[in-house]
Amino acid sequence: MVSTPVTSITFEEYLISDDGNGFHYELVDGKLELMNPPTIEHFLIAKFIEQELDAEIKRCSSPWLCFRESGVRTGRNKSRLTDLCVVTLEQARELLNASAVFQSPPLLIVEVVSPESVKRDYRHKRSEYAALEVPEYWIVDPLKAKISVLLLEDGFYEETVFTATQKIVSRTFPELAIAVEQVFTAGNLSQGS
């Protein structure tokens, strides 16, 4: 049996790494972790939320941008890929010609849970995003048909869970009016969305 030595890489090496296979990786304590390609349901849910957030940003003329699958540095040698994140124009300008890995906290991060990401989204990312001081974090869980909105209070997240016809309450987007069922209907092609 041939064993390959596991080498640790730095955040700076991660920013320029490319194995040429097109896969996406997160950097966790200096190790590359392969991210499985999302399901179509996952893509549709993320796209729906992105379109709603983009429309609200435009309606309010906020100097913000919403990005899909950008990175967020959460530690010295740690970087996560977000499903969605909302950042200021200034944060985006800083990375205009660099890898899209934000080193300052986004205004809002949204993660869509998949079967293999439950622990990562609910536990690891929750603590990492709190430590980074991301003010608002949504965990969109189609497996349990609920959306958890976590608001940072004194370094810890206060969680509110929304289900069914309840409208998501967001500190970042106080006038947003999306019901939880709209989000999950967007991920279900049989509903004709």
pLDDT in tens, 142-165: 999 999 999 999 999 999 999 999
Environment class of 95 (CB within 10 Å of its CB; exposed 0-12, middle 13-18, buried 19+): middle
Residue 6: pLDDT band with limits 50, 70, 90: low
pTM of the full structure: 0.89
The number of folded domains in the chain is 1
The percent of residues above 70 in pLDDT, for the chain, comes to: 94
Answer whether residue 28 is part of any domain: no
Answer whether residue 67 is part of any domain: yes
- The rounded mean pLDDT for the chain is 91
Residue 105 has pLDDT above 50, yes or no: yes
Answer whether residue 2 is part of any domain: no
For residue 79, what are the domain limits? 37-191
User: What integer pLDDT is reported at residue 88 of this predicted model?
Assistant: 98
Residue 190: pLDDT band with limits 50, 70, 90: low
- Residues 107-133 have a mean pLDDT of 94
Helices (H), the chain: 11-16, 40-59, 89-94, 118-119, 125-132, 180-186
Answer whether residue 184 is part of any domain: yes
Edge to edge, the sheet with strand 146-153 lists: 64-68, 84-88, 108-112, 136-141, 146-153, 156-163
Answer whether residue 169 is part of any domain: yes
CB 110 within 8 A of CB 134: no
pLDDT in tens, 125-146: 999 999 999 999 999 999 999 9
